[in-house]
């Protein structure tokens, strides 16, 4: 029995990055031997075991063969005869197909270390094209390591195109797709993830609503970058630079989908794109079964982001309706995330990345003014039921009028 550290732990050590998760491969062992040593079995598809003390995953060396469609369409074979090289060749990228023994000796049969030095994301073997999930994984790695200068190797990108055209991407489950998309959006350069998906032809399969934004012009006065797709990438880039949470990044990706529906005859104007985009945002949310907080924020940002930009011009009554739409009295954090998404949208414009966004503090102040209206005095005046709700609305509107007047002075 020989045990090797494999995959990401080896890759990140060679890159000088922190190693968090460690995966191990066991060569020359049977499941029975693992159980006898106290390892606990997990997973039904192939033999993976948890170490009795550390809880880390140890997998028996295995080979795999394509037997159906999609990510799960594989038959696995694990036995003591499977070599380390045979196990490594089934992996996606050369930089993930290296192993280290307990002495730190590197096994690198597919030149992963050289590709690390050349900053290349390259597939290990033609079998790469058998697993559609790898299109998303490679795009995610491109987003993770873009800051180090990594790029997708041309021959790997070609295999990704073939996968995108094969119909295999449609076989991915919403859960698997969302797991990769959500992880990619939280990388340092999520815009690279979207760009690589586009370069490989996968974006038009997975997110045709985002693909449709590219080549659609916007008014140059507000959007010096002009192209709606380029703007979306820039907004996503700003969200990452400002360390926004997943819900904000998801909303940033989807906020302008309505612009993809504007007839060419109306370009570069996009009248009512906020409302038109809601059905598209809803269908993307449902396609990937996004978490509820992501779904709700994406819809609210899609509908109201121009309100955010025009905050200083809004009438107190419109401000009151906006705050009510966000249920800001019970869910203040969601409104804060809306403000963040609006600010990223404003900064995601060519040459305007550092422009001040006073709307953010103005909206926060408005929310605070409305929230400071106390219910108790109204109860003491005898208001109850629907009448109490109406009285509360009136008092909040008064507070917002006073806030706006004070701000204007």
Q: What is the pLDDT of residues 261-272, one digit of tens each?
A: 999 999 999 999
104 contact partners, CB below 8 Å, separation of at least 6: none
| pLDDT over threshold 60, residue 70 | no
Distance CA 198, CA 210 (A): 9
Contact 25, 40 (CB under 8 A): no
Q: What are the CA-CA distances from residue 190 to residues 239, 249, 327 (Å)?
A: 9, 9, 30
Closest Cα to residue 318, out of 254, 258, 401, 386? Answer: 401
Q: What percent of the chain has pLDDT over 70?
A: 96
Q: Name the residue with tokens 């990769």.
A: 180
Distance CA 49, CA 105 (A): 24
Closest Cα to residue 349, out of 298, 313, 309? Answer: 309
Contact 93, 138 (CB under 8 A): yes
Residue 79: the pLDDT is 84
State the DSSP string of 121-166.
E-BSSGGGGG-THHHHHHHHHHHHHGGGT-EE-HHHHHHHHHHHHT
Distance CA 91, CA 125 (A): 8
| pLDDT over threshold 80, residue 74 | no
Give the H or E element holding residue 6. Answer: strand 2-6
Residue 69: the pLDDT is 54
Residue 21 token pair: 């998760």
Determine if residue 59 is left, alpha or beta; phi over 0 gives left, psi from -120 to 50 gives alpha, anything else beta: beta
Could you report how far apart the first and last alpha carbons of the chain are, in Å?
A: 78
Distance CA 251, CA 299 (A): 8
| Surface-to-core class of residue 51, CB atoms within 10 Å of its CB (0-12 exposed, 13-18 middle, 19+ buried) | middle
pLDDT band at 119; cut points 50, 70, 90: very high
Q: What percent of the chain has pLDDT over 90?
A: 86
Indicate whether this model's pTM tops 0.85. Answer: yes
Q: Which CATH class is domain 1-112?
A: alpha beta
pLDDT band at 67; cut points 50, 70, 90: very low
- What are the backbone angles phi and psi of residue 78, rounded to the nearest 5°? -120, 130
Give the mean model confidence (pLDDT) for residues 179-198. 98
Residue 408: the pLDDT is 84
Reported as a single tens digit per residue, the pLDDT across 295-351 is 999 999 999 999 999 999 999 999 999 999 999 999 999 999 999 999 999 999 999
Tell me what the pLDDT averaged over the chain comes to: 94
Torsion over CA of 293, 296, 300 and 305, rounded to 10 degrees?
40
Distance CA 38, CA 57 (A): 13
């Amino acid at each position: 029995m020989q045990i090797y550290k494999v995959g990401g732990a080896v890759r990140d050590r060679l890159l000088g990055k922190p190693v968090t998760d460690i995966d191990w491969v066991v060569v020359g062992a049977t499941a029975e031997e693992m159980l006898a040593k106290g390892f606990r079995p997990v997973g039904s598809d192939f033999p993976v075991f948890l170490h009795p003390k550390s809880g880390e995953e140890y997998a028996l060396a295995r080979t795999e063969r394509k037997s159906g469609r999609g990510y799960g369409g594989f038959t696995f074979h694990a036995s003591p005869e499977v070599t380390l090289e045979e196990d490594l060749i089934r992996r996606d990228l050369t930089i993930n197909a290296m192993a280290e023994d307990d002495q730190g000796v590197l096994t690198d049969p597919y030149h992963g270390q050289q590709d690390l030095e050349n900053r290349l994301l390259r597939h290990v073997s033609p079998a790469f094209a058998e697993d559609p999930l790898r299109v998303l994984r490679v795009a995610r790695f491109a987003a993770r390591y873009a800051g180090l200068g990594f790029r997708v190797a041309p021959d790997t990108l070609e295999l990704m195109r073939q996968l995108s055209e094969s119909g295999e991407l449609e076989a991915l489950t919403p859960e698997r797709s969302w797991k990769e998309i959500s992880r990619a959006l939280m990388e340092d350069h999520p815009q690279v993830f979207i760009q690589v998906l586009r370069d490989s032809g996968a974006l038009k399969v997975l997110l045709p609503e985002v693909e449709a934004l590219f080549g659609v012009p916007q008014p140059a006065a507000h959007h010096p970058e002009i192209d709606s797709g380029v703007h979306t990438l820039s907004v996503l880039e700003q969200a990452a630079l400002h360390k926004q949470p997943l819900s904000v990044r998801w909303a940033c990706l989807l906020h302008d989908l309505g612009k993809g529906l504007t007839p060419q005859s109306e370009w570069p104007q996009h009248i009512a794109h906020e409302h038109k985009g809601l059905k598209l945002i809803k269908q993307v949310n449902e396609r990937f079964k996004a978490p509820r907080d992501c779904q709700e924020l994406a819809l609210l940002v899609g509908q109201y982001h121009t309100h955010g930009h025009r905050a200083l011009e809004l009438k107190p009554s419109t401000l009151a309706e906006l705050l009510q739409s966000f249920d800001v009295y019970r869910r203040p954090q969601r409104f804060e995330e809306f403000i963040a998404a609006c600010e990223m949208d404003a900064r995601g414009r060519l040459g305007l990345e550092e422009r001040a966004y006073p709307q953010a503090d103005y909206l926060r102040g408005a929310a605070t003014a409305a929230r400071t209206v106390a219910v108790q005095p109204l109860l003491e005046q005898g208001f109850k039921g629907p009448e109490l709700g109406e009285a509360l609305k009136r008092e909040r509107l008064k507070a917002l009028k006073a806030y706006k007047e004070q701000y204007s002075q």
